[in-house]
Structure 1
Amino acid sequence: MKRSNSTYSILVLALALVLLGTFGAQAQVLYKPEPADNPNLAGNSAWTAVCASAGFNEYFVNFRWDPPMVESDNEFVLELSDADGYFAEPTELARVSDKNTVFDFEFQFALPTDMRGDNFKMRVRSTSPAKTSPASDAFSMYFIDYNSPLLISENGSGTIPSGGLIQLCGGGSVTLKPHNIPNAESYIYNWYRSGTLLATKSESITVSDPGMYYVELDYGDCSGSANTLSNTIEISTGTSSGLAINGATSVEVCPGDTYNLEANITGMGLTYTWYKDGTVVSGPTVDGSTYTVDGGATGFEGSYAVEIDGAGVCKELSEAVTISSTGSFDITVNNEENIVLLPSQTKTLSVGTSADSPSYQWYKNGSPITDATGSSLVITEVGEYYVEVTDNGGACTPAPVASETTTVVAPDSFEFVVDYVGTYTSCESVDATLSLSTINAVSENGAKTDVTADLQNSFDYQWKLNGGNVTGETSKTITLSNQEANGEYSLVGTVDAFQASSNTLQVKLASNETLQVTANGTVLCEGGEPIVLETTKDLTNESFQWKKDGTVVDSSSESYTVSETGVYQLVITSNECPLVSNEVTISAFDESLLVLDKTQDLIIVEGETQTLTASGADSYEWYDAGNNLISSSSYYDFTEEGEYLLIATFGTCTVSKVITVTYRDMFAIPNVITANGDGINDLWVLPNTYSRDPNVLVTIFNERGEQVFSQAGYENNWPQSTTSFNKQSMIFYYKITRGGKSLKQGTITVIK
C-alpha cells in the first residue's frame, strides 16, 4: 500500500524521536583503559607491569567509548594516579585530539622517570563534554633508573673481603651496605639470607647470624628484569681464642728506650697485624707475634693492639695496651712560627717547658749557636731557629727534645689582602665595611709568609677609591654608607722603605631611598577609566624602566598606562644599582568581587526593615526607582516595596545590581466568602502582592466559564452586590495574571 506524504512525515518524525531518546538524551560512556600490546614489537602481548628504563619506555593502552558524539574541540586525556591509586593530583601520560570519531583506539605513553610503586591506576578524561572513565586495575609501574649489579661490602667501604667471607667471633655483628650506587638512600631494597627474603628494606643491614647474604633493588614485579642482584658475602661465626698481649695493660717508656709487645698465642703459623690507635703499624705478617715500640720516635705514645687471622682460628683483635712516656715534658714556643725581620730590627725567640730541671741549646739552620743556652734568644739574622731542651732530673737518662722550628725571613716585598667584613651583597647592601685581613711577606722566590699579627701595627695606611686617595681614611678598616662612594677600593701601606698594595674590591651600595609607585586603581575592566601608574620622584634625568612581571614594558614615559593584568614595578638605575619600587598588582575585573549578604530579591513584612549589606568594593551608591541617591554606605535598610539600584565601584570599574523588594503576604488567597451582608468576610480580599497593582489583572468566572468580573489594580471589592447569588452555595473560578503571565488560579466558594 502506498503511504501518503503526511504518513511518511509522521514516520520520519517518530524515527527522529527514537534516535533522540537513544542518543540525545544520554551521555557518553567512557570505559576503563586496558593494557594493550606494543605494535612495534613482534609477537608481543599486552603488558602486565610497566618496567620502563632509559633503554625502553614505550607502552600502549586500549580505550573504548560509546556515543553520543563528543564536541569537535574535545580531547581525550590519559591520566596516571599516585603510587597508592589516588587521583588527587594525577599525572598526564598522553593527550589526543584526533579520536573524536574513533570509539576504540590506543594511547601510547612513556612512564615518568620518578614513578615507582605497585598500585598505580589509569583513567581517561574527556574535555568536551567533561567526563571521566572508571579507573583501571592496579598495576606495578617502575622506572628502572639503576639496572646494574650492586656491590656490597662491610659498611659500604668498597673493600669486598677475600673469598667474600667475613668471620664474626664472640657474638659480634657486621653491617653490610652497597657501595657502587649513587643516592643509595632513595631506593628500597630486598635483602636475602641464603635465599630467604628478609624484612629489612633499607640500604644497609646489620647481621650476626651465619649465612649467605646478598641484595637487590626492590622494583616490585620488575625486580628480576632490573638485573641489580649483588655479590654474595658469607658470614661465619666462631669462638674467641682469648687473644691478648702479654704483660701489663699500661706501660711507661723512657724517651729513647724500646719496649717489646708480644701476643699470648704463638707458633701456630698465624698472621699477625699490629695497630696503634686503630692504625696498622705492622703486618699482616705470618708468625709476627711481637712488635717493638721505639721510645726515641716522636709520637710513640698510644694504644697498641694485635689481630690474628688464619686457618683454624677466628679472626680476633686483642684488648689494647697503653704505652706512655715517662720523664717526658712539653716545650711551648712563645713566638710566631714565621717571623719577618726588617732591616735594623731585632726579634726575641723564647720557649717554655714543663721539664723539672731544663737546660737549653739554640740552633740556627741546624747548627748550635755559641753561648745560646737560655730559654730566650735575641736574633738579628734570617734563618731557621729551634732549641733543644734537656731535663736533667727524673728517672730516665737525659735525652734532648727539640722544639718546633721558627722561620725568620727578610722580605723582598709585602702584599695586602683586603676583604669585606660581615655580610655584603652588591647592589643590595646599603653599607659596607672593608678591612685588611692579611699581610704577606713575599720573598725573592715568590714564597709568601703571613706576618699579619707581627706587622699590622707597624704600617701607615691609605685607602684609595678608583686610584685616588680617600681623604681621612688612614686606618686598616673603612666603612661606607653612601651610594656616592661606589667604586673600586684598594689599600696601600708603608713601613720603612717598603710599600704594600692590596687587591681591589668593588663596592656597589644600594640606595636607601624608598621608591613608591601609586595607581588610581588595581582592577582592570573593559570600558573603565585607564589605570595609570605614577611616582612622585622626578624621572627627568633618571635611567628607568617600567616592568610587568619582570619584563620591561616602557623606559621613556614618566607614568605608565596599564593595558594588561600583572605585577608592575618601576626600576631606576642609581649609581649602577637598581632602585626598585613597591609592587602594584593589577587584576582582571570580576563581578563576583561584589558580595551581597542576601539575595537581590528581598521579601519584607510591611512595616518592618530588611538590611542588605555589600562588601568587596571600594565604594557604594544606592538609588531608588526615581534614580535618587539614597545612601553611600555599604549597606541599606529597606522598608518599602520597589526596585532599587546598587552601583559598586572597584577602582575604575563598576558593578550594578538591581534589588527588588516586595512585601510578604501575611495571609493566603481566601477560597470561601460569606456574602450575607453582615460585614464579616463579605468581600474577596487578596494579599497586597496581587491587590491594587495596576499591572495585575484579576478575572472571575462562574461555574459555566462565563466571565463575571475583571479588574486591573483589584480594589478588594468583589462581589459588589449579593443579589446576584441565587443559590445557597455557588462556585466561582479566578485567575490572576501579570502581563499575560498567570500568577495564581483557583476556586471561590460563595455562601449566602
Structure 2
Amino acid sequence: MMKTTFVCKLLLGLCISALFCSQKINAQIVIGTPNLGFSQACANADFNSYNVSFVFSPESALNASNQFSIELSDASGSFTDSTIIYTSSAGEITTSPATISFSFPTTIAGEGYKLKIKSTAPAASSSSSASFAAYYKIQDSPFTINNLIDNAAYCEGGSYLLTIDNPGAGTNDSPLNYPSLTFNWYKETGPTTSVFVAEGSSLSVNTPGTYFVETNYGTCTSNSYSNRVEIIEATSGIDTTISSSLGNPFCPSSEPTTLSTTDGISYQWYKDGILLPGATNQTYQTEDSGLFEVNIDLGGCMATGAIDLISEKFTSSINVFDENEIESDETLNVIITTSAINPEYQWFINDVIISDALGSSYEVDQTGNYKVIITETTGCTASKEFLFMVTQAANPFPDVSDIPNLISPNGDGTNDTWIIPNQYVSGTNTEVLIMDNYGKIVLKTDDYQNNWPESELSFNTVNLVYYYIITTQDNDTKKGSITIVK
C-alpha cells in the first residue's frame, strides 16, 4: 500500500513539472506599436540621436538572453528588405515601458520610413510605427553655381546651362562630391517664394528669371542650397549688369573689388573709354574709381555692361626718392601728403618701429631702409605704405695725395672719375685743362668738381690717352697724361 502511494506521488510531481516546463516553453509577449520621439529625422554629422518608446507584456515572459532590436523599413515603408539599425545587449531591457536611443544610417533618404520593435527570446514583433521622413544630410552647407556670377544671358531663341560648381570658388563644398545626393531646381516667383522646375545636377534655362538649386532633403530643411543667378534673354546690343564684390562705393581695405558680369564666350573690359589690355576674363579686379565697361560675346549676339565705380581709397604721396643719399652731417626731411581722414602714421627703420615718430613728417639723420605706413581711421579703414632707402653720400673731394694717371669710368663706383688732390679742386681758383691726343680741349675750368668724365667716352682704341695741365693761382703748373681703360 505504501509502495503504491509513493508511485502516485512521483507521477504527480512529474506531471506538474512537465506542465510548468510546457508553459515556460510556450510563453509569449506582446509588443505595442512603437511611439516615435520625433516627427521627422533630419540627421547630420552634428546630430544623429533619436528616441523610440514601446510597451510589452508580460515582463515575466522575457528570457534572460532576450534582445530587443529596431527594424527600419525602406523609404516606402516596406519591410521586405528591412534593416536592423539597433540591437540591445542580452537582458538589458527587462521592464515596460522602455525607451531606446539610436542613430539612423547615413544612407537614409525618403519620406515614408517606418519602424518595428522585435524581441528574440521569446521571438515577437510589434506592428509598424507611423511613417516619417528621414534624411541624413551628408552635405549641409551653401554651395555655388555659375562660378558665383550673379547673372547670365542667352541669345534670343537659345538657352543657358546652369551647373553646380565642382569644386567651385574658395572653400565651396560642392555636393557633387557626394554621389548619393539628388537636386531640385527652383525659379523665384517673388521675394520669398519660388516654384519647382526640375531635378538634376544641371538645368537648361530658356525662360528669363532668377534660378537656384537645393540638395533634395525632402521635407527636411537644410543649409545645402546655392546662390541665385538671374538669367536674361539677350539680343545684340542689350545692356547687362556688372556687379562689384565689395559693393559700390567700395572700400579697398585689404583687397581690390572684383567686377563680374554675365557669363559669355569672350570679354573685353574698358576703363573711362580706354581698352584695358589683357582684361579679357569674366571678372576684373581693381582698386580704382572710374567708368568700367565690358563687351560680351554671347555666341550669336553681343551684350554690354557698365558700372560707374567709386573707390573710397585715399591718396598719398612722399617727397623723397626710393633711394636717397645724405652727407655725414646732413639730414633728410621726409614729408607725407595724404587725403586720408584722421590718418595715423607708423615709421620704421630696418623693420624696427620708431616709437616717437607719429606725425606726417620725419627728420632722417641716419642711413637705413625706411618704411612709413599711413592708416585712415575714419570711414574706409585702409592702409598704404611707402618704402625708401637712405645711404651715406660719397665724398666728392676725398683727400688724395697724388694726381692719378689712370681711371676706369665703367660705372662700378670705383675710380670712375679723375680725382685729384684737394689743393686743385673747387674753391682754390686752380685752372684744370684736359685735352685729347689731338690737342682738342675737352675740359677747362677753375672750379673742378672731381667729376670728369661726366659723359661716356667713345673708344677708338683699346685705351684712350688724355693730357692735363693744372695751373694754380700762383702759377705753379702740373702736367701729365690720363689713360682711360674700360
- Structure 1-normalised TM-score? 0.28
- Structure 2-normalised TM-score? 0.42
Q: Which structure is higher in strand share? A: 1
Between the two structures, name the one with larger relative contact order (CA 8 Å, sep ≥ 6).
2
